[in-house]
Amino acid sequence: MGTDDDMRTVVGAIPQAVKDGFRYDEIPWRRFSHFYGPGDEVPGLLATLASRDAEAARRALGELWEGLHHQGSTIAVAALAVPFLLRIAATGFPGLRASTLRLVAEIARCQHFGDGRREGLLQVAEDPEDAEGTTMCPVDWTIQAARAAITADLHLLFPVLPDPDPEVRSATAFVLATGTGGMPRISSALHSRLAEENDPAVRVSLILAIAQLAREEQDEHAPAWARALWSDGDQPLETRVGAALAWLCLVDDPVPDELRTLLTDPRTDRLGELFQQVPWLPRSTTTAAGCAAASTRCSRRMFPGAASDVLRLGRAGPRPRLRTPERPVEAPSG
């Protein structure tokens, strides 16, 4: 750590006034590239995203998704954009807030590709040996830099957690779950929001966010919390299933009969559409057909309808690696 190519050092050196003032010209964009071109194209897209022209902002966000997070991969210059994306999400066009926050969260976690393993769903860190094809910098350095930037700007995220839009609330939980400092404060905010939350998909997102932080911190109390939640027959069904997923990712224990009964309940099988609204689960950024295929694949691993696969979480093979983009993909809608 400490070299000019170490994104952890580069992002950590950005002064607060530069971030707050959107002083893009003081950021070394040109030393890095995105997936389709030079990094000095990024500040123009950020400025357009922050503009009051909703259609131009939507197009800019699409280009940022394509350039900074192609096919599940992230790239070093993306971490430089994180402080500005957070500020734009807090103050920019409300209709793009959820997608902007989702982009931040994806930059700050490993490639996922619908990884439904017990080890994979809540994993944040990337393989230390995995390097970018353009700079050969470890991808995990970029993830660490993005997570540190998020942690430095928690004050921007907490006010968005009760946003009127449920997609924004879910996306905010998705971002908060990548924090690297102030864990008790983040967890407390998520628990408080969960106690008030009425939207089913957001409740699941909050549960998974709490579990992801607990997994990172190796919180020994978290498994008991998750088990108590999925064991509680008075809880809504989606809350119990979300807690069951959290518990499965927090422990290596065999699946008890009580959980097996919950996961094979025919009513649980009908939650697939709701769970597609949860950011941890795969969303296609290409076509409707791709989205349907991704949802089916994830459902087979993680939700009833294929209960045997749920009970075998942890047996999947390694995640695929997609590094070389061939053409842009359509960005997620706002």
**pLDDT score at 329:** 37
Query: CB–CB of 52/88 below 8 Å?
Result: no
Residue (of 285, 326, 322, 276) closest to 303 by Cα position: 276
CA distances for 216 relative to 124, 181, 232, 241, angstroms: 8, 11, 25, 21
**pLDDT score at 127:** 57
**pLDDT score at 125:** 74
- Show pLDDT as tens, one digit a residue, over the chain (334 residues): 456 668 899 999 999 999 999 999 999 988 886 566 667 889 999 999 999 899 999 999 999 998 888 766 778 889 999 999 999 999 989 999 999 999 999 999 887 655 557 777 888 876 555 555 455 567 788 899 999 999 999 999 999 999 999 999 999 999 999 999 888 999 999 999 999 999 999 999 999 999 999 998 899 999 999 999 999 999 999 999 999 999 999 999 999 999 999 988 888 888 888 988 999 875 533 333 333 333 334 434 544 444 444 444 433 333 333 333 333 334 444 4
Average pLDDT score, the chain: 81
**pLDDT score at 116:** 59
**pLDDT score at 264:** 87
> 295-332: b or e for each residue (b if 16 or more CB lie within 10 Å)?
beebbbbbbbbbbebbbebeebeebeeebebeeebebb
Query: CB–CB of 281/325 below 8 Å?
Result: no
**pLDDT score at 331:** 47
Q: What is the pLDDT of residues 223-272, one digit of tens each?
A: 999 999 999 999 999 999 999 999 999 999 999 999 999 988 888 888 88
Task: Say how far apart CA 222 and CA 333 lie, in whole Å.
Answer: 34
pTM higher than the cut 0.75: yes
The Cβ of residue 76 has, within 10 Å, a number of other Cβ atoms equal to 27
Within 8 A by CB and 6+ apart from 36, the residues are 66, 67, 325, 328
Phi and psi, residue 34, nearest 5°: -100, -175
The Cβ of residue 162 has, within 10 Å, a number of other Cβ atoms equal to 14
